[in-house]
């Protein structure tokens, strides 16, 4: 098992027990999708609906970063996570 730091902001914080930052333990060769599955099991249907669409792709507007890099600049949901990584889930933000 390896430890990563999960960070959430804005509306996502409420979906993960009000925690802006927490440690999550995952398998050595886990990928982003594996982490999200763990979080769905832990936080339930409301979290799943916010993050995924019906085809289990990331909902439009949700951004995810590993150590400051957008996962889609890496290998998307297949991006491998490593010990000590910081994983940020960023919800859609609108402006006027």
CATH, residue 44: 3.10.20.30
Per-residue pLDDT band at 61 (split at 50, 70, 90): confident
Per-residue pLDDT band at 94 (split at 50, 70, 90): low
pLDDT at residue number 34: 97
**Is residue 26 included in any domain, yes or no?**
yes
pLDDT at residue number 95: 59
**Is residue 61 included in any domain, yes or no?**
yes
Tell me the residue range of the domain where 66 lies. Answer: 2-90
Residues ≥6 apart with Cβ < 8 Å to 33? 77, 78
CA pair distance 75, 12, nearest whole angstrom: 23
- Say what the pTM is: 0.91
Total domains, the chain: 1
% of the chain surpassing 90 pLDDT: 85
């Amino acid at each position: 098992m390896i430890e990563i730091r999960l960070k959430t902001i804005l509306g996502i914080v409420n979906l993960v027990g009000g925690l802006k930052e927490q440690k999550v333990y995952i398998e050595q060769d886990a990928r982003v999708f594996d982490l999200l599955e763990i979080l769905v099991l832990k936080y339930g249907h409301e979290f799943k609906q916010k993050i995924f669409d019906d085809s289990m792709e990331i909902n439009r507007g949700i951004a995810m970063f590993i150590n400051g890099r957008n996962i889609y600049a890496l290998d998307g949901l297949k991006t491998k996570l490593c010990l000590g990584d910081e994983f940020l889930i960023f919800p859609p933000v609108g402006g006027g």
